[in-house]
Chains A and B, each alone.
Chain A
Amino acid sequence: MEKTKSTTRIRSIATQQSTKLSEKTLSKKVEASVFLTNVADVFLFVARVIKETFSRGFEFKEFSRQCFHIGYKSFGLIAITGTIMGLVLTIQSRPVLVDFGAVTMLPSMVAISIVREMGPVITALICAGKIGSGMGAELGSMKVTEQIDAMEVSSINPIRFLVVTRVLAATLMIPLLILYADTLGILGSWAGANIKGDVSFVLFFSQAFGHLEFIDFIPAFIKSFFFGAVIGLVGCYKGYNAGRGTESVGVAANSAVVLASLLVIIVDMIAVQITDMI
């Protein structure tokens, strides 16, 4: 009798454990399936954007409007951050270089840092915040208020009108903003060098550009196009696939910034590895 009871108890515990295990396995399977669906969704979205980019009926007017919004309207922010970046980098580096008696290397060191890494990455991160969140919120609210559906039922292709124009504008404008930030960063560096020292404009720039080569400039410029494309694609994807409630607009904007920033860093790492191999 006693034996039968304990056997039943053991069986019941074994069944419970087995149920828990199968529930866990099932939830893991569901998670994996959701993840794979999301990845497939991203690839399909990117493929659709590429296909629409090369199809007929390019929305040039909307593209120009987006270039104005992304490029021209970011000038102020990029000017301030670019200048401060150069200024701070110079002020922070100067004492160390003075200790080593290498203060004359300051202009070239700062110029190389800005052109190769600081300018592109910092500008791209700022753009991920400003432009990525803007796209996520704008397209997200268009989705919530059924404006994207309205385009679709009017037989207007929303990917071509809304997404292709924004992604292309970001891809073209962000490299220009990076060049702008680089220029102002070096100017800021000259201002920083003049706070504690006295360097003429011509001398500073001849020293700065004396050590800059095309190999410093070209990879950085190429990767800036990828930064632009990533920011545009992520912002549009998050906005275009926002949920139905107003809360989803905030979620779309927020996740666009987080994902775009993360991808900028990852793209930068890959670009540095490739450049290093070359």
Chain B
Amino acid sequence: MRTTASASESPDTTSLKNQVNESVIEITDLSKSFGQQEVLKKISIKLYKGENLVVLGKSGTGKSVLIKCIVRLLESDEGTINVLGESVTTLNGKELNMLRQKIGFLFQSGALYDSMTVRQNLEFPLRRIKSELTDQEIDEKIIEVMENVGLSDTLDKMPSQLSGGMRKRLSLARTVVVNPQIMLYDEPTTGLDPVTSDEISQLILDVQKKYKTSSIIITHDIKCALKTANRIIMLSDGGVYKEGSVDEFENSSDPLIKSFFN
């Protein structure tokens, strides 16, 4: 069922392939335009359960638009988007909210609520989505997630008091605190130094392993892509330019792909 594979797949990828063939996101012939500008042209993509799918491409190729269409922050013009078996484009408000609770979205800017403390940033979605949890359970959950991202000593700080890397970690913590099944990362390492970028990439892998998430990672950062990807898709001119494994991309002689990987 998987369209791509390579002879030298990593053990992780092989086990993943055996583990799942079931798609959690299935996008078919998706098109999206802004006025006269056609950003996505009949794109079809699948995300399989448990995998990290990296989407590469130059700026303006519609990578962020693609994941915003998945959570219906942007309405698509044509095509179908099935997430966890539900057609996103036809859901009503209540059904869409139920589905969104199963999806985590890490924004490029972090999108932290800057009028709230770090703790309140985590409590805010948790209290509303997991309303059955007691105060003690919420505290335990927050401490557990913050320890996982290495920020347990910043709970009472304001987001403005944190560095760029810490803000990204906090944003990731806020996203995973509600246990999403699918993660959508919009350029998670943009604007970070190489060391912090590597830490964030490692966190993405940790999240995949610990929370058993399936993820789409939009990035320009090749190091992040190589570290986190089970599969890569490259977009160009609003369409899928190439889809394949990490090895296939690394060994490709295509000039556009080479320009990214070299």
> Which of A71-79, A94-102, A147-155, A191-199 sits within the interface?
A147-155
Residues from 150 to 199 in A contacting B, C-beta threshold 8 Å: 150, 152-157
Q: A153-B100, A155-B101, A156-B125 are in contact. Are A147 and B113 (CB under 8 A)?
A: yes
A155 and B113 contact, CB distance less than 8 A: no
Q: A146 to B73, alpha carbons, bound, how many Å? A: 11
Name A153's contact: one of B73, B108, B113 (CB within 8 Å): B73
Residues of A within 8 A of B97 (CB): 155, 157
Main secondary structure of the interface of B (DSSP, over half): loop
Is A12 on the interface with B (CB-CB < 8 A)?
no
Q: A152-B73, A153-B103, A155-B101 are in contact. Are A146 and B125 (CB under 8 A)?
A: no
Q: A152-B73, A154-B129, A154-B178 are in contact. Are A145 and B114 (CB under 8 A)?
A: yes
Is B98 on the interface with A (CB-CB < 8 A)?
yes
Residues from 69 to 108 in B contacting A, C-beta threshold 8 Å: 71, 73, 96-98, 100-101, 103, 105, 107-108
A149 and B73 contact, CB distance less than 8 A: yes
Closest to A138 in B: B115
Number of residues of chain B lying within 8 A (CB) of chain A: 22
Residues of B within 8 A of A138 (CB): 115
Residues of A within 8 A of B115 (CB): 138
Q: A145 to B96, alpha carbons, bound, how many Å? A: 23
Closest to B175 in A: A154
- Among A146, A153, A155, A157, max chain B CB count under 10 A is at A153
Residues of B within 8 A of A154 (CB): 100-101, 124-125, 128-129, 178
Closest to A156 in B: B128
A146 and B100 contact, CB distance less than 8 A: no
Q: A157 to B97, alpha carbons, bound, how many Å? A: 9
* 28 contacting pairs across A/B (C-beta < 8 A): A138-B115, A145-B109, A146-B107, A146-B108, A146-B111, A147-B113, A147-B114, A149-B111, A150-B105, A150-B107, A150-B111, A150-B113, A152-B100, A153-B71, A153-B73, A153-B100, A153-B103, A153-B105, A154-B101, A154-B124, A154-B128, A155-B96, A155-B97, A155-B100, A155-B101, A156-B124, A156-B125, A156-B128
Which residues of B does A touch, CB under 8 Å? 71, 73, 96-98, 100-101, 103, 105, 107-109, 111-115, 124-125, 128-129, 178
Which residues of A does B touch, CB under 8 Å? 138, 145-147, 149-150, 152-157
